[in-house]
Structure 1
């Protein structure tokens, strides 16, 4: 079988979610750089893959999928024989879905948006994004004081979806200093076999 073609941009947190999942599953991957800075994601060739003009996209031997959380679900369902990453148990599956919704909601509107402002110059309200980020982190820290990972006692796609923008929150001037359980959770993910980091930008609190 051919490698999974993976359309990505190195500083995209959404793309990193997929890169991390591919690596954790040990899958053979062919990365394809999409030059967002020069508008490659808005060209007809790329729009044929994802009409929304966003990375990431994968092409798994003819199965073309966009949207980072949708791709995480596909990869776990297709390639994780153990069932660890997307458990079948109804209660755990519901908790995983809860955190996938948080990844697309509070994380996107909080730390991801704060980072967009500093790294890419996006025209959003930094104070509001930082405020939303800390409201999220308070909830995460409390819940992670009760278990090792977001949905259960082992890593799932929920943790993969949440990791990148939380780990890189300081780039958007969101401090993780007051959230010890969140920092311990980040370290546990970074200790997983197959973990790969996203490049850090020397900006915000990372400067």
Structure 2
């Protein structure tokens, strides 16, 4: 029997990991469909009917199709009432964090990771994105001073969204120890029941009822 959730993504994709981690932390069963980015499957006609942007992840829940990782996190939180805001103020603070990480944290880390793993451009380009990542990590480290989680004393989708980027720091050749508050926070996220690291969580092929 098919699971209610079907996740389309790639084990190499940090945004896919965000959604996979959310599903795992919520204890939700899901079918997984691997999208081979190297072969251009994300630009195929079949996949574009699922995600018009030609990106991973995408998710289908009971016939409803969703895309963009952070909005999928919001949707799952609404459906399950897990890692969700407790009130309107928390909802706004969570959204602020999710927008900030896509603007100020994710580009520098993810592009630095890409340059280390797949293709290295001119050094000036590499240095620019590394500096951008370091600036974002510095802000995160400063704002985590004296806090357990990003919004209040319990984890929310803000933590899952931001952690999905931070989890790939090592592949981008950043030492998390240089940002002690980020390191301590990441360890608290990793201690949550159901947690798995990216390559332990995301399969390299289609999988049913993960």
Q: Normalized against structure 2, the TM-score is what?
A: 0.88
- Asked if 2 retains the 8 angstrom alpha-carbon contact of 1:133 and 1:174, the reply is no
138-147 vs 47-56, which moves further: 138-147
169-178 vs 91-100, which moves further: 169-178
* Match in the other structure for 2:36: 35
* Match in the other structure for 2:90: 92
- Asked if 1 retains the 8 angstrom alpha-carbon contact of 2:120 and 2:126, the reply is no
48-57 vs 101-110, which moves further: 101-110
Q: 1-side partners of 2:85 and 2:48: how far apart?
A: 33
Tell me the CA shift for residue 133 of structure 1.
Answer: 1.2
Cα distance change of structure 1 residues 100 and 122 upon mapping to structure 2, 3 Å threshold: farther
- SS of equivalent residue, structure 2 residue 33: strand
Q: 2-side partners of 1:142 and 1:24: how far apart?
A: 27
Describe how 1:142-153 pairs up with structure 2 within 5 A. Answer: 142-153=142-153
Tell me the CA shift for residue 120 of structure 1.
Answer: 3.0
118-127 vs 69-78, which moves further: 118-127
Give the unaligned 5+ runs of structure 2: 201-210
Cα distance change of structure 1 residues 123 and 102 upon mapping to structure 2, 3 Å threshold: farther
* Match in the other structure for 1:9: 10
- SS of equivalent residue, structure 2 residue 75: helix
- Asked if 1 retains the 8 angstrom alpha-carbon contact of 2:105 and 2:137, the reply is no
CA RMSD, aligned part only?
Answer: 1.7
Tell me the CA shift for residue 123 of structure 1.
Answer: 4.7
Which structure has the higher relative contact order (CA within 8 Å, separation 6+)?
Answer: 2
- Asked if 2 retains the 8 angstrom alpha-carbon contact of 1:57 and 1:64, the reply is yes
Equivalences, count: 197
Tell me the CA shift for residue 18 of structure 1.
Answer: 0.2
* Match in the other structure for 2:178: 178
Give the unaligned 5+ runs of structure 1: 201-207
Tell me the CA shift for residue 119 of structure 1.
Answer: 2.1
- Asked if 2 retains the 8 angstrom alpha-carbon contact of 1:96 and 1:157, the reply is yes
* Match in the other structure for 2:111: 113
